[in-house]
Structure 1
Amino acid sequence: MSEQAQTIVVWSKQGCQYCQAVKDYLKEQNLSYTDVDITEQDHLRDVLEAKYGVRYVPVVEIGSRDKRNYYAVTEIGVEHLEKALGKGEKIHGA
């Protein structure tokens, strides 16, 4: 697997079918990611709310390794992640 120019963080919880679909998609694309499991950690929902105004998962943060910027996909559905990864489009700025 080649080194990717971006970092990916998936905020998820156990038993979430949408979260699993996101992880499966990233694996299929050979993209590594870090998983932040918020199961039984409601304080992490507070972090999501402060950062993005949402308390649900999945949320996918995509960041640049060489720059200090990132964006997040907060919409539910793999198609939103595909769009963000394919075009590098800013979905939700931080």
Structure 2
Amino acid sequence: MSKKVDVVVWSKQGCSYCEEVKTYLQEEGLSYNTVDVTHNDAFRDILDTKYGVRYVPVIEIGSSENGVYKAVTEIGLEHLKAALADCAPSHI
């Protein structure tokens, strides 16, 4: 039985790292939701409270069924790939 993985990408307009993440997810056939922090400092405050960062991209990977998410706050696709492998080995 494969588990459903939810992905949330916190991003801003004009962020090349954010676009790289979204392109990778699309190429892998993984759907995701986006939280755009471009003109909303309150969203950056949420990131600061949750993860101690105010920059993007931040990728949350987990399950809305159990409410458990892992955050990828490091920049670079290798971190996203490792988190996806840890959270959802059956996504491939």
Decide: shared fold, TM above 0.5: yes
Residue equivalent to 1:92: none
Q: Which structure exhibits the higher relative contact order, with contacts defined as CA atoms closer than 8 Å and separated by 6 or more residues? A: 2
Matched, 1:23 2:22: yes
Q: Secondary structure at the match of 1:18?
A: helix
The gaps in structure 2 that reach 5 residues or longer are none
Distance 2:32 2:73 in 1: 16
Match of 1:29, as an amino acid? Answer: E
The structure carrying a bigger helix percent of its residues is 2
The gaps in structure 1 that reach 5 residues or longer are 90-94
Give CA-to-partner distance per residue, 1:40-81, whole Å, 9 cap, x none: 111111000000000000000011243221110000111100
Q: Secondary structure at the match of 1:36?
A: strand
Matched, 1:76 2:72: no
How many corresponding residue pairs?
87
Residue equivalent to 2:45: 46
Distance 1:54 1:33 in 2: 21
Q: Secondary structure at the match of 2:81?
A: helix
Distance 1:6 1:76, change over 3 A: same
Q: TM-score, normalised by structure 2?
A: 0.87
CA contact (8 A) 1:4 1:31 kept: no
Distance 1:88 1:4 in 2: 10
Residue equivalent to 2:57: 58
RMSD: 1.8
